[in-house]
Structure 1
């Protein structure tokens, strides 16, 4: 049975990815920090879709997380067909006022983990006639975002990494897709420490995790390179390439900085 590995699978978009893939007949390997939430999800997916679901509670921001996950995956399956690098979070605030330790932990999860997992799991993916990698970036990947400076930079890295790797693997059976959602009804804003005002603004244009996951998995299986769900998100991302960078940065700063205490 083809198997999919999803990081950050216990809630939000990660949970929706697992549900979408289980509905398409994939066994799933679920990794996140919360053991209880993972077990609950695994039970639901097995009962509703008749697939196998295995869980690994793991702090994915830890330096050796990729090694731990890879060893576990190799014990669970030799039919890994999908790798979804979904785990990640943002931190809101001025770069010099946020602690370096906190920001480095975010970069570890947002950048170093997907790179390490991809490198370690590619040999397993190459065993399949057709396999897929989905890296979850953000519309923030398309411009600098003051007060989300390192988060946006980490997602820009992930987008560039995805496109470069996709080209390198173009003659293999492994397809790489980068998904860049906009505002989504998850706990991202709470985790990033954003104000209620910013959260209320984002909620007006948010997509649901299920919508994003359905769009992302469809694009992945269609072999698309780079996808942005939602018409408004596509338009805004396109506009950032047509106007001066200084202007987009000023607009972003006007949205985010005014809510800082």
Structure 2
């Protein structure tokens, strides 16, 4: 029986890298993202190179009801699901009251609602396997409040907490839940978040998305609850837990100053 993995945000960055690595391992893929052209190209390349099935669905998961459409698409395919990767997400940079509310709510719909809904819809399929996995992609921003990235860091803190909670709830089932918390990654996040003014700083700490994906999948298959990429990022997460919140927030505010 084929093993299938469903990956959101699969057209580029970490999601694309995870797709390629899973294809190398023999997984057939269900790819979900907004860009039809990129998904078409990725799907064709994977099928040609790795001889596995790679189907795709073009959809904007930030739109209410989109997660249900993805779930219905999956159900119609009638294939077994072994891995769910909730990778789609983005950030907005700026003061909370200076950013448009509609834009911020759109971000929350993608970063939080889509993850929760898709996980809920697909859990029955995952629980029906002998072994299955969920990988939710958060960020090192999940470990502290980040001024000028207020809702982004809050949304990733939600994903981390949500992942750990359902991991415990599912401990007696075949489903293992992990949360991947990368630091700065060369994915275009800085540009989409409107952080061009500090792009030169981010570039110094960027990790290639393929490396992040390799670390993430290794941790996933080892059933780790949290996967933080890179020594420096692990030290920063450790510090956020042991230093005062006021100090951590002051440091974060200095790094991401508008």
The residue that corresponds to 2:224 in the other structure is 224
Q: Are the aligned partners of 1:78 and 1:124 in contact in 2 as well (CA < 8 Å)?
A: no
The range that moved more, 180-189 or 199-208, is 199-208
The residue that corresponds to 1:247 in the other structure is 247
Mark the runs of 5 or more structure 1 residues left unpaired by the alignment: none
Whether 1:199 and 2:188 are equivalent positions in the alignment is no
The residue that corresponds to 1:160 in the other structure is 161
Task: Give SS of 1:62's match.
Answer: coil
Mark the runs of 5 or more structure 2 residues left unpaired by the alignment: none
Q: Are the aligned partners of 1:5 and 1:82 in contact in 2 as well (CA < 8 Å)?
A: yes
Could you list the runs of 4 or more consecutive aligned residues of structure 1 that deviate by over 3 angstroms after TM superposition? Answer: none
The residue that corresponds to 2:235 in the other structure is 235
The equivalences for 1:83-162 within 5 A come to 83-162=84-163
What is the root-mean-square deviation in Å for CA atoms of aligned residues? 0.7
Give the Cα–Cα distance (whole angstroms) in 2 for the partners of residues 254 and 68 of structure 1.
Answer: 41
Give the Cα–Cα distance (whole angstroms) in 1 for the partners of residues 51 and 153 of structure 2.
Answer: 39
Give the Cα–Cα distance (whole angstroms) in 2 for the partners of residues 253 and 126 of structure 1.
Answer: 42
* Structure 1 residue 195, shift from structure 2 partner: 2.3
Equivalent residues, number: 257
The residue that corresponds to 1:17 in the other structure is 18
Task: Give SS of 1:164's match.
Answer: helix
Q: Are the aligned partners of 1:146 and 1:256 in contact in 2 as well (CA < 8 Å)?
A: yes
TM-score of the pair, normalised by structure 1: 0.97
Task: Give SS of 2:205's match.
Answer: coil
* Structure 1 residue 18, shift from structure 2 partner: 0.4
The residue that corresponds to 2:214 in the other structure is 214
* Structure 1 residue 255, shift from structure 2 partner: 1.5
Q: Are the aligned partners of 1:3 and 1:77 in contact in 2 as well (CA < 8 Å)?
A: no
Task: Give SS of 2:5's match.
Answer: strand
* Structure 1 residue 78, shift from structure 2 partner: 2.8
* Structure 1 residue 36, shift from structure 2 partner: 0.4
Give the Cα–Cα distance (whole angstroms) in 2 for the partners of residues 195 and 81 of structure 1.
Answer: 38
The range that moved more, 82-91 or 236-245, is 236-245
The range that moved more, 236-245 or 71-80, is 71-80
Give the Cα–Cα distance (whole angstroms) in 1 for the partners of residues 12 and 78 of structure 2.
Answer: 23
